[in-house]
Amino acid sequence: MRHSKGFTLIELMIVVVVIAVLAAIGLPSYSDYITRSKLAEAYAHLSDLRVKMEQSYLDNRRYSTNAAGGTCGIPGGNTPTVQDSKYFDYTCASATPNAAGDQEYVLTATGKVAEGLSGIAFSINTSNTKATTVTAATPMADKGYAGNAGCWVRKKPSQC
């Protein structure tokens, strides 16, 4: 009696099909997980910049560097200095001046094109109102993300 060793073609085909099914299910989930981990940078840095703006206000009674207004009172001014920023560009706009200087601000984190985050922006203002903006027909919109005027989106489509 002859006993052969190895796998039959059917057994190999079954293994290939099982691996293909696992990859088809796992790869999109993994890709979305990576995107969500990149968004965490914006949440952390915007929260930190907001604290710095409030500290500046406590010291100067205004959000601007001078009484004339126009420039945010944090390091970097209207383009804040953010350490280890890889996925987002940050901006600050101060507004609503009175005799003392600007009394409001909006901090914004805009996704970088090179990192696959173009089309998404997070913002926070003087009143601690958080918002997410997703531009239509951009990579982030194509991934299924949508804007939300009341929070920072953490999961698609627009879950906070």
For the segment 86-141, what is each residue's pLDDT rounded down to a tens digit? 999 999 999 888 888 899 999 999 999 999 999 999 999 999 999 999 999 999 99
- Look at residue 4 and tell me whether its pLDDT is greater than 80: no
Q: For residues 129 and 43, what is the distance between their CA atoms, to the nearest angstrom?
A: 13
Nearest to 126 by CA among 160, 103, 148: 103
Note whether 92 and 73 are within 8 A (CB): no
Q: Within 10 A of 72 (CB to CB), how many other CB atoms are there? A: 26
Q: What is the pLDDT of residue 1?
A: 66
Give the mean pLDDT of 30-37.
90
Tokens for 75?
A: 């390091």
Give the mean pLDDT of 11-33.
90
